[in-house]
Amino acid sequence: MKKILVFRIGHLGDTLVSLPAFWRIRDSFPDAHITLLTNFDPDDPRLLSPKDVLPESGLFDALMSYPPAERVLTSGPEIIRFLFRLRRQRFDAVFYLPPRSRTAVQAVRDIRFFKLAGIRKVFGDRTLEARRLPIQSPPEASAVISESEYLLECVSEGIPELSRESKSELLITETERKAAFEWLASSVDLAENDLRLIAVAPGSKWESKIWNEKRYSEVVARLMERVNAFPVVFGGEEDREKGERLIAKWGRGANACGKLTVRQSAALIERCALYLGNDTGTMHLAAAVGTRCVAVFAAIDLEGRWYPIGEGHRIFRSTVECQHCHTPDCFNFNKCLELIEVSAVLEACESIMSGATKAPASPVPEA
């Protein structure tokens, strides 16, 4: 196959958990021209495009986005123009990597659209059919394989002889690393020896995913005393105030919320001894660059579905009667999160840091 389309939609975390599948396609077809098709809306500044996350070269050759649903519903000509745009590309196949909540009706519509666009080979639809998840699941529902594993199964329809190796490289550049450390050096005094950076992400766009701020404060304060940890708080601009409050309590730290690009954040997290935080896109960013995670999960989704890629992570998740609620605003006083104790999370952090091989904080690396 010489021209391949990859269909994957969603936000930061959705893109990052797709990396092993993306790389499996690229490594299997090193000479093919591969295009990523996503639902990014360039007119909505709140959303991160895969272009903000993925390397400029080496993985995909092109990025395409289809019109947002609200415009499609009101503009038939726009979707027709997009259809013919796809037809002109003459793709040999599409790797169909939808979320597992894609309904049967939506999947049939998608496949018909690809066929109308002249793409005869579609890989991934059978896996979706076998692995489809309801939007809402009963509390007694079982754990499931991770989104990353599911996507690799979708890819296996078109690449039957799969290597067991899985990679999630973001191909961070030295320029990005230099920019990240220049920001860190301009924000704090790195003269103190043997500071051990830890990435802390205490926020989330969903209130129901946020572990108590006081508990993050306690865990990090203990790590600062015991292992000379130096916290760097990550998140969006909306998390900046929380980061400032925490750093004021700790007496030291750096607040990267809203200050770095996604890839610069990845470059800095890459040097951290661990990630401590909620189930967020930042957690998936840490996993992608090989930083082990101590992740606090609300029980709002099926167990295992959004666990980070890679090994060595410590996941904290409680079983409660209202689990799998999939609601952004908890109606049960965050019970599942309140059951997660500071002492257990602290022990996990210390255990990871005792075996961490990440270098201590250092001056800005040479270009």
Is pLDDT at 13 greater than 50 in this prediction? Answer: yes
Q: What does the alpha-carbon distance between residue 98 and residue 232 come to, in Å, rounded to a whole number?
A: 34
* Residues listed for the chain: 367
Among 3, 7, 2, which residue's Cα sits nearest to residue 87? 3
| Beta-sheet strands, E only, within 60-154 | 62-65, 93-96, 121-123
Beta bridge partners of 232: 199, 254
pLDDT of residue 261: 96
How does pLDDT run across 187-216, given as a tens digit for each residue? 877 656 567 999 999 999 999 999 999 999
pTM: 0.93
Q: What does the alpha-carbon distance between residue 180 and residue 182 come to, in Å, rounded to a whole number?
A: 5
Q: What does the alpha-carbon distance between residue 246 and residue 253 come to, in Å, rounded to a whole number?
A: 9
Is pLDDT at 255 greater than 80 in this prediction? Answer: yes
pLDDT of residue 42: 60
How high is the mean pLDDT of the chain?
91
Say which amino acid occupies 192.
E
| Beta-sheet strands, E only, within the chain | 3-7, 33-38, 62-65, 93-96, 121-123, 196-201, 229-233, 254-255, 275-278, 293-296, 314-316
Which residue do the tokens 């196959």 mark?
1
Mean pLDDT, rounded, for 124-147: 94
pLDDT of residue 305: 97
**H/E stretch holding 25:** helix 19-28
Mean pLDDT, rounded, for 216-230: 96
pLDDT of residue 365: 42
**Least confident interval from 95-104, 186-195, 257-266, 273-282:** 186-195
What is the percent of the chain with per-residue pLDDT over 70, rounded to a whole number?
A: 90
Tokens of 246: 């925490």
- Cα separations (Å) of 278 from 34, 263, 305? 33, 19, 15
Q: What does the alpha-carbon distance between residue 347 and residue 354 come to, in Å, rounded to a whole number?
A: 10
Is pLDDT at 45 greater than 80 in this prediction? Answer: no
How does pLDDT run across 271-322, given as a tens digit for each residue? 999 999 999 999 999 999 999 999 999 999 999 999 999 999 999 999 999 9
Residue 321 CB neighbour total at 10 angstroms: 10
Who's near 74: CB < 8 A, 6+ residues apart?
none
